[in-house]
Homo-oligomer: A and B are copies of this chain.
Amino acid sequence: MDDDDAVRRWEHRGQLPLITASLLYLAAYTLTVLDQDASPAWRLAWSMTMFVTWALFAADYLVRLALSRRRWTFVRGHWLDVIVLVLPALRPLALVRYLYRRRRRRRSPLLSLEGQVMAYSGLTALLLGFVGALSVYRAERGAREATIENFGDALWWVCVTLSTTGYGDVAPVTFHGRLVGVLLMSVGVGLIGAVVGVFSSWLVQSFRRREEDDAGGGGGGP
């Protein structure tokens, strides 16, 4: 175990506020991108929400770092937190992490190991895709010769990208849009590949188990 007792206590108490902050950030970011016609007051409120929740995450990281006795081990074991601080749009990923940890605490093994990996990777890919669609839509909006013209196009582009199909009917043309695309590809392709790989081995095991069940059980058929 690389976490100390103080860190664990802090993390346990901070769970609920941080999940709330994650959801608030996601909501504020979504509204900032999608509700272009909002009044300046609303837009300011969303910006403030984003800043405050960002500060909360930064403070949480620093406190945990300060509480930790083995600093270097902590930094290496929590690199995802740093990425999430640098690229605020990826913050909702922390939500998956906290949800996952919370579920583990409760010791309710609802899913097999393969199921856990698929659920975790799939949920991360889903959140990443939603944030990617928001970011690419923000970057492409108003660009000349843009093919991503509305949020529906952006969502369709994300699905086409994560599955590596890539029709090319919609594709980013701006620098920022393409940067989002590169990030989405590098992380998303790995996650989807992991889901597919684990699904493949789960399927084989599932068939093997059924075969053994069949061989073992006294069949009820005529």
A-to-B contact residues, CB < 8 Å: 1, 5, 8-9, 12, 104-105, 107, 113-114, 116-117, 120-121, 152, 156, 159-161, 163-169, 171, 173, 175, 178, 181-182, 185-186, 189-190, 192-201, 203-204, 207-208, 210-211, 213-214, 217, 219-222
Q: Are B9 and A220 in contact (CB under 8 A)?
A: yes
In the complex, what distance in Å separates the CA atom of A203 from the CA atom of B116? 10
Q: Smallest distance from the beta carbon of A8 to chain B beta carbons, Å?
A: 4
Nearest residue in B to A186 (C-beta to C-beta)? B163
Residue in B116, B152, B197 whose CB lies within 8 Å of A200: B197
Q: Are A207 and B117 in contact (CB under 8 A)?
A: yes
In the complex, what distance in Å separates the CA atom of A8 from the CA atom of B9? 51
User: Given the complex, which residues of B lie within 8 Å of A210, measured CB to CB?
Assistant: 104
In the complex, what distance in Å separates the CA atom of A214 from the CA atom of B107? 9
